[in-house]
Amino acid sequence: MKISEVAELTGLSVSTIRFYEEFGLCPFIQRGADGKRRFSKTDADWLELLASLRATGMSMSEMRTFADLYASGDATIPKRKAALLAHRQSLAARQAELERCRTILDRKLQKYDEIMKDQK
């Protein structure tokens, strides 16, 4: 798979994928004889997971910790599971926070409606 295809698939930009690789988030990417990156299905799945973690607020350094576990093989799966469970918790908190902000926006919209009604 080419880098542009993985970008399409994951929603990450081509630059971001290269940036992640340089940062050590995807350790196993092979190169063809032409020097270009070749992504396996596994690589693509891994990047999709990284994209979800990033989109839900995991920091680069946490992601690197997670990637280091990934690079160390299946023995680290319990640790990876624990990390994902913890992150799921923080995601729930983030979702609750977004809901809270939504009610603030909605209240503000209501106030605007009242003001506009009064002025008529």
Partner DNA sequence: CACTTGACCTAAAGTAGCTTCAGGTCGGTA
Partner DNA sequence: TACCGACCTGAAGCTACTTTAGGTCAAGTG
Of the candidate residues 9, 16, 80, 91, the single one contacting DNA (CB under 7 A): 16
Does the protein bind a second copy through residue 78 (CB under 8 A)?
Answer: yes
SS3 for the chain is CCHHHHHHHHCCCHHHHHHHHHHCCCCCCEECCCCCEECCHHHHHHHHHHHHHHHCCCCHHHHHHHHHHHHCCHHHHHHHHHHHHHHHHHHHHHHHHHHHHHHHHHHHHHHHHHHHHHHC
Does the protein bind DNA through residue 30 (CB under 7 A)?
Answer: no
Give the shortest CB-95-to-DNA separation in angstroms: 19
Of the candidate residues 11, 27, 28, 36, the single one contacting DNA (CB under 7 A): 36
The residue type at 59: S
Tell me the per-residue interface mask from 59 to 98 with DNA, x by CB under 7 A, - otherwise: xxx-------------------------------------
Does the protein bind a second copy through residue 113 (CB under 8 A)?
Answer: yes
Binding site for DNA (CB under 7 A): 2-5, 13-16, 18-19, 34-37, 54, 59-61
